[in-house]
Amino acid sequence: MKAKPKPIPTQASISRPHANQPLLPLNCWRSAAIGISAYVFEESEAAIRRSGLVPEWVSYPTKPGSGIAVPAHHAFPNYLKLLRLKNGRLRLVIDARTVLRRDTRFQRFVGSLMADSTLSLVRGESE
């Protein structure tokens, strides 16, 4: 007798919404002129707004090909640039320090890594 495959419930195959996942950078950009490292993201406007990386007072460009750059100043001490792409998505170039400060998962990872005394670099051993 042949066993029939069991159907998989549809709820089990539905992935978690993108809102719970952090933005993933496409590239890292380094500027010797302004002395920063920045991450480059390309996402929908909704995903970038949900990330909280862009301050609420920054206006988003509406026309494809248009953009806005926010130089570092007292209200927002980190570099930020938004560009509206032809497909309607946004390219966000933002100072890496801003992203890393908000990435609690990464902070926990680095903290756990540095607390692991079995690692030779943490213990101070030479190679």
pTM of the predicted model as reported, rounded to 2 decimal places:
0.63
Per the CB < 8 A criterion, the answer to whether 53 and 40 are in contact is no
Structure tokens at 41: 């993201």
Q: What are phi and psi of 54, to 5 degrees?
A: -100, 125
Lowest mean pLDDT of 25-34, 39-48, 87-96, name the range: 25-34
Q: What are phi and psi of 87, to 5 degrees?
A: -80, 5
Give CA–CA dist 33/119, Å, rounded: 37
Q: What is the pLDDT of residue 15?
A: 34
Q: Which residues does 45 contact at the CB level (< 8 Å), separation at least 6?
A: 60, 89, 90
> ∠ CA(20), CA(25), CA(30), 5° rounding?
145
pLDDT tens digit string along 68-125? Answer: 888 766 666 678 889 999 999 999 998 888 787 777 777 788 788 778 877 776 556 5
